[in-house]
Chain A
Amino acid sequence: DQQVKQNSPSLSVQEGRISILNCDYTNSMFDYFLWYKKYPAEGPTFLISISSIKDKNEDGRFTVFLNKSAKHLSLHIVPSQPGDSAVYFCAASAHGQNFVFGPGTRLSVLP
């Protein structure tokens, strides 16, 4: 049973618009969440994180929102750029233990 879910395998967005990638989790012990971005033939690179004591974290064009009661987090990219086209993984950990990754969402930003 997947503890971290990304129910959209793919997403297409027009350049300049907002991209919203969603992630749901089942383990209420998770207290730290991260988003990774992965280009083909490369390893994932860290994008942004959020601790469970916060409900929002912003870094430039990227904002992560956390709704603990719904066990849901989302990554907003505004404005989306063609270079953002990649696979995005959501990951979660509990008390600094191993990270659990979601299956990923492939984002395509169309020029």
Chain B
Amino acid sequence: DVKVTQSSRYLVKRTGEKVFLECVQDMDHENMFWYRQDPGLGLRLIYFSYDVKMKEKGDIPEGYSVSREKKERFSLILESASTNQTSMYLCASTGAYEQYFGPGTRLTVT
């Protein structure tokens, strides 16, 4: 079974803090993704990576950066958290034709 794990299920941070969200997959997938999910907006792609040290902007990259130092690990970084980044963050890796998602991290920025 494919496993995608995320470092935290729930996180509360203050405005201006630097936030790291970690994602690890155990299926040797090359492609990994970070989404945020907001009510009525579905899943929106923040960043993705096709290989180690490679990253591509998704639809809403502003305020975020990513790091892919190892194939199995893809990190999302909020350089200076803001209240509009309060959301559910979902990491995914892609197999042949489907995406496997982690359980999500619900981030609240106060």
Q: Does B13 contact A (CB under 8 A)?
A: no
Contact pattern, B 79-106, Cβ under 8 Å of A = 1, otherwise 0: 0000000000010100001111111101
**Contact (A98, B97) CB under 8 Å given A43-B90, A103-B40:** no
Report how far A36 CA is from B104 CA in the complex, Å.
Answer: 15
**Chain B stretch 28-45: residues in CB contact (< 8 A) with chain A:** 33, 35, 40-45
A89 close to B58 (CB less than 8 A): no
Among the listed B40, B58, B97, B101, which residue makes an inter-chain contact with A49, where contact means beta carbons less than 8 Å apart?
Answer: B97
Q: How many A-B residue pairs have CB under 8 A?
A: 48
Binary contact readout B39-75 vs A (1 if CB under 8 angstroms, 0 otherwise): 0111111001000000000100000000000000000
A interface residue numbers (CB < 8 A to B): 4, 6, 9, 32, 34, 36, 41-46, 49, 89, 91, 96, 98-99, 101-104
Digit string of B3-21 for contact with A (CB within 8 Å is 1, else 0)?
A: 0100001000000000000
How many angstroms between the C-alpha atoms of A38 and B108 in the bound complex? 20
Complex partner residue of A103 from B4, B41, B97, B101, CB under 8 angstroms: B41
A32 with B103: CB separation less than 8 A: no
In the complex the two chains form, what is the Cα distance from A45 to B97 in whole Å? 13
Chain B residues bordering chain A, tally (CB within 8 A): 23
A42 & B42 in contact (Cβ 8 Å cutoff): no
Q: How far is the CA of A20 from the CA of B91 in the complex (A)?
A: 28
Contact of A89 with B43 at beta-carbon distance under 8 Å, contacts A98-B33, A98-B48, A98-B58 already known? yes
A91–B45 Cα gap in the complex (Å)?
12
Residues on B with C-beta less than 8 A from A103 are 40-42
CA–CA, A32 to B17, complex, Å? 40
How far does the Cβ of B34 sit from chain A's closest Cβ, in whole Å?
A: 12
Contact B42 A41 (CB under 8 A): no
